Amino acid sequence: MRGKSVSQMVGDFFDQLVRTQTSVQKTPPVTDSLRGVLKGVVVSEEDYKKHLQDKYR
């Protein structure tokens, strides 16, 4: 950090913070459309095993 002013370090911090928040918010449209689809649904391991058995019969 030598040779950098405090204001430059603070500016770099905020630039990094904005870049991080922006990258987190960008999701593909498919992902956005699926968000919340299973909200409130309880799926057990047994349900998943039955699904696989039915699928591969």
Instruction: List the domain boundaries for the chain.
Output: 1-27
* pLDDT tens by residue, the chain, 57 residues: 678 899 999 999 998 888 766 555 677 889 888 988 888 999 999 999 999 999 999
Q: Residue 45's pLDDT is what?
A: 95
Kindly report the pTM of this predicted structure. 0.36
pLDDT of residue 6: 92
pLDDT digits (tens, 9 = 90+) for 36-47: 888 899 999 999
Report the chain's terminal Cα–Cα distance, integer Å: 63
Contacts of 28 (CB under 8 A, 6+ apart): none
